[in-house]
Structure 1
Amino acid sequence: MLTFRRPDDLPVVLPALVDQARSVAGTARARVLVVDNDPARSAEATVAGIAADIAAGIAADTAAGTGYGDIEVAYACERAPGIAAARNRALRESEDSDLLVFIDDDERPSAHWLRELLRTLLDTGASAAVGPVVSEFAVEPDPWIAAGEFFVRRRLPTGTTVDVAATNNLLLDLAFVRRHGLAFDTGLGAFGGEDTLFTRQIVALGGSIVWCAEAVVTDVVPVKRLTRRWVVQRAFSSGNGWSMTSLILTRSPLRRGRLRARLTASGLVRIAGGAVRLSRGTVLRSTRDRAKGVRTIARGAGMVSGAFGYAYQEYRRD
């Protein structure tokens, strides 16, 4: 679990992750690793205190014959800024592990989350398994945001093969990762899209990513993200990241030129389609059409800007 200055989330999610680790104790030995991306090590004391409480509880359970053995809670500080650097630190800290699962510090795992991810990976022999993310809001979203479905993510049947995934609910086969020397691109650390590139590389190298519908995590959305500006910027970032990673994956200058043209055309089609829907929504006073039109325009604009080399710094730190 990566974290950056979210002290209120740690006491909630860490015990939940320990419970997840204990739930698979009969199948695998697991530990919980917290990678703090704050050079000031702001999460260290909180993690240490929680780890001590958890260790005491596990020891008591073990003594009573009801425990699942020792579950380690480990802490590492990655001083280099950027989410890609923090993810790479997690890879380095897991050199002795066979599998690595990522979850964000503002997410909450469902009851059998880890067990289901592990089962899906082992049953399919895939290189990675990914699960759905659903949102829970700190306050009721603006009706415009709800109508635009800005926080609605894809849901697929278990076993479906996908060609890209986010790393906020992703289990990796580290043997595949090591065999191909994969790492997160630190050049994307401030921009986002590092997970898009990483998982697309898995597929490009002959690996597979499978969907596990039962491995649900809940994303706790704070008030600051429930604004029209934030959700539109996220839609722009999504399109921008897709174009950027597509170009990175294409090495031939000739093919890159053709791809740039296709990405531009696709982005322009989205902008035009979004504009039509926005206009229709304005005339018909449809909040849904207005919001979805703006979302489509933003994603299309992101694709076009990415095709021409602009990179939106979603994770910039001032």
Structure 2
Amino acid sequence: MTVVDQVGHVVIAVLTYKRPADLAELLPLLIKQMDGVDEQVSVMVIDNDPAASARETVAGFAAVLDDASLVTYVHEPTPGIAYARNRALDEAADAHLLIFLDDDERPTETWLQSMIETYRRTGCAGAAGPVLPDYETEPDPWIVAGGFFVRKQFPDGAERPAAGSGNLLLDVRQLNELGPLRFDPEFGLTGGSDTVFTYHITRSGRKIIWSEGAAVVDKVPSKRSTRAWVLQRAFRNGNGQSRIELTWQTNPVRKMVTRLKLTAGGLARIAFGGLRAASGLLSRSKVHHARGSRTMIKGFGMLCGAWGVVYTEYGRGKKS
């Protein structure tokens, strides 16, 4: 990795689906971020609602700016977050850097500056930063005990094998060198397309670097602060893990071996998680009950994914 002296156009892509209030709150914060950097920066809103519900919000905000070109609107009506991400790649094809941000995330004060500085310092193909929870309502003590919304942190500058797209910088030029790299629509309504995408980057020998100062705050609505939602997400994660690992296997024999390994891993999690959850229930330990329950449900998800069951978390009618 080498130091980058000059950074061209930076595009911040905000993916949205039927969240006008979140969008209206986020856009002014992104414009404010531009004051702390020297680079040319613009915001692009990718609306994945077939009804184009975000168009009016974006147009109204852009109309009051001194430079309306700082915020643009793009409508991607095909359902699925992978299609929205791919549309962002297409629209930002001539940019230098593309930064993905979700509409329910809020940048901290040094977010954009830290992202760009990490890229300048390392010349990485991608950079990812912390996502910190902000609860709309006080969560269930069971959730707090499990630490389910507290995401793992890493040392600044650490290399990551993959990353989620909800706070991700990409060097468009390096992506172009890797060929037609796309988010897989097979994961568009299930989640996981960002993990597969970023694994492709690192498996090609390019680097994804952790940017400790580039933190965003994730607004956790009350409907997610429930045991049911946490366990649903655990099942999705296990299901997606199996499907992702099987994606890499093209040889039928290796695919079957991987399938059997995932089956064993899923069964082990079901057994261990079930025992831990039961012991937590008997000992009245919320930590053991919560974490054991999540491990067990993730195991069921892995088991199902290993044998072709696909869990569609983002079926329309739900917000992606």
The match for 1:42 is 53
The match for 1:310 is 309
Give, as a single letter, the amino acid of the residue that structure 1 aligns with 2:55: E
What CA deviation, in whole Å up to 9, does each residue of 1:71-97 have, x standing for no partner? 610100001011000011101110110
Which residues in structure 2 correspond to 1:109-258 (within 5 Å)? Answer: 109-180=107-178, 181-258=180-257
Residues 196 and 242 in structure 1, CA contact (< 8 A), matched pair in contact too: no
| Runs of 5+ consecutive residues of structure 1 not aligned to the other structure | 59-69
Q: Which moved further from structure 2: 106-115 or 142-151?
A: 142-151
Q: Distance between the aligned counterparts of 1:18 and 1:183, measured in 2?
A: 28
- 1:258, distance to aligned residue in structure 2 (A): 1.4
Give, as a single letter, the amino acid of the residue that structure 2 aligns with 1:112: T
Residues 62 and 69 in structure 2, CA contact (< 8 A), matched pair in contact too: no
- Provide the secondary structure at the position in 1 that maps to 2:21: coil
Q: Distance between the aligned counterparts of 2:229 and 2:99, measured in 1?
A: 28
| Runs of 5+ consecutive residues of structure 2 not aligned to the other structure | 1-13
Q: Distance between the aligned counterparts of 1:244 and 1:213, measured in 2?
A: 30
Corresponding residue pairs, total:
303
What CA deviation, in whole Å up to 9, does each residue of 1:120-157 have, x standing for no partner? 12211211000010110110001111111111111001
Q: Distance between the aligned counterparts of 1:37 and 1:92, measured in 2?
A: 15
Residues 131 and 217 in structure 2, CA contact (< 8 A), matched pair in contact too: yes
- Provide the secondary structure at the position in 1 that maps to 2:275: helix
- 1:21, distance to aligned residue in structure 2 (A): 2.9
- Provide the secondary structure at the position in 2 that maps to 1:161: coil
The match for 1:108 is 106
Q: Distance between the aligned counterparts of 1:303 and 1:283, measured in 2?
A: 27
TM-score calculated relative to the size of structure 2: 0.92
Give, as a single letter, the amino acid of the residue that structure 2 aligns with 1:7: P
Give, as a single letter, the amino acid of the residue that structure 2 aligns with 1:139: T
Percentage of matched positions with identical amino acids: 47
CA RMSD of aligned residues (A): 1.3
Q: Distance between the aligned counterparts of 2:158 and 2:207, measured in 1?
A: 10
Residues 85 and 189 in structure 1, CA contact (< 8 A), matched pair in contact too: yes
Q: Distance between the aligned counterparts of 1:165 and 1:41, measured in 2?
A: 28
Give, as a single letter, the amino acid of the residue that structure 2 aligns with 1:35: I
Q: Distance between the aligned counterparts of 2:250 and 2:173, measured in 1?
A: 26
Q: Distance between the aligned counterparts of 1:251 and 1:176, measured in 2?
A: 26
The match for 1:23 is 36
